[in-house]
């Protein structure tokens, strides 16, 4: 939660009444923070491989789904914001973990492309590695402004950063 709060403080992610898609939502602290920020007239839809087992306010829910399996049409978009804290189960092999993190970011971006409103915002966690520039480049094709945020809370895992895409510009393809 603190990481999302810090990104929010730096970039200004939320407004009351927004609809948010939260990828990799368990155990639920980002979902709870987002639900509080969007308020009772907003909506937060979380997705995770695992059931969070946490009580959520009425405007939030977390579905047990694999982001690679989910049909974007079923998500009932559009959303103002797509946030992804998805992370692979780390294997200890840094490059393999970085590559799996990159794949999760690219999947989150694919989903965002289908469900984000024009002008919308995308946030994704990535383990910084060889594919980092590819992910940033893919985001630059879709967002007017792409920022890198390294929350202070991630100091211990120094290779984890967040890519933030502002002002979604949908392409016709
Ligand atoms: C760092 S945790 C998320 C923490 C969460 N944002 C919070 O604040 O409580 C990363 C999550 O990504 C999820 N994840 C990894 N691969 C996924 C996938 N393919 N589809 C959905 N969730 C996935 C994991 O199950 C894990 O719960």
Tell me whether residue 173 is in a domain: no
DSSP three-state, residue 125:
strand
Per-residue model confidence as pLDDT tens digits over 54-103: 999 999 999 999 999 999 999 999 999 999 999 999 898 999 999 999 99
Which CATH number belongs to the domain containing residue 28 in this structure?
3.40.50.150
Active site residues: 125
* Pocket probe mutation, ligand 1, options 31, 66, 70, 87, max atoms within 8 Å of Cβ: 87
Report the run of H or E that residue 109 belongs to, with start and end: helix 94-115
Tracing tokens 């202070």 back to the chain, one arrives at 152
In the reported structure, the alpha carbon of residue 24 is separated from the centroid of ligand 1 by a whole-number distance in angstroms of 3
Q: Where residue 157 falls among pLDDT bands split at 50, 70, 90?
A: low
| Angle ∠(106,110,114) on CA atoms, nearest 5 | 165
Per-residue model confidence as pLDDT tens digits over 2-47: 899 999 999 999 999 999 999 999 999 999 999 999 999 999 999 9
Could you tell me the pTM of the whole model?
A: 0.96
Task: Report how far residue 158's alpha carbon sits from residue 98's, in angstroms, rounded to the nearest whole number.
Answer: 13
In the reported structure, the alpha carbon of residue 33 is separated from the centroid of ligand 1 by a whole-number distance in angstroms of 16
Tell me whether residue 39 is in a domain: yes
User: Which residues have CB under 6 Å of ligand 1?
Assistant: 1, 24-30, 47-50, 66-68, 85-87, 104
By the 10 Å C-beta count (0-12 exposed, 13-18 middle, 19+ buried), 147 is classed as middle
**Phi, psi (degrees; rounded to nearest 5) at 26:** -75, 145
Residues 6+ apart with CB under 8 A from 11: 121, 147, 149, 164, 166
Tell me whether residue 140 is in a domain: yes
Containing structural domain, residue 29: 2-168
* pLDDT for residue 52 is more than 70: yes
Nearest residue CA, atom 24 of ligand 1?
24
**Phi, psi (degrees; rounded to nearest 5) at 15:** -140, 155
Per-residue model confidence as pLDDT tens digits over 101-148: 999 999 999 999 999 999 999 999 999 999 999 999 999 999 999 999
């Amino acid at each position: 939660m603190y990481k999302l709060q810090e990104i929010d403080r730096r970039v200004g992610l939320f407004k009351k009444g927004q609809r948010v898609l939260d990828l990799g939502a368990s155990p639920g602290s980002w979902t709870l923070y987002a639900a509080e920020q969007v308020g009772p007239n907003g909506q937060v839809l979380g997705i995770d491989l695992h059931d969070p087992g946490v009580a959520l306010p009425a405007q939030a829910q977390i579905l047990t789904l694999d982001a690679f399996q989910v049909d974007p049409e079923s998500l009932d978009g559009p959303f103002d914001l797509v946030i992804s804290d998805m992370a692979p189960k780390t294997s200890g092999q840094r490059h393999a973990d970085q590559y799996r993190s990159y794949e999760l970011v690219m999947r989150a971006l694919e989903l965002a492309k289908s469900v984000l409103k024009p002008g919308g915002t995308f946030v994704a966690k990535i383990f910084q590695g060889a594919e980092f520039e590819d992910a940033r480049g893919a985001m630059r094709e879709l967002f007017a402004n792409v920022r890198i945020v390294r929350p202070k809370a991630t100091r211990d895992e120094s290779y984890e950063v967040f890519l933030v895409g502002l002002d979604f510009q949908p392409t016709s393809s």
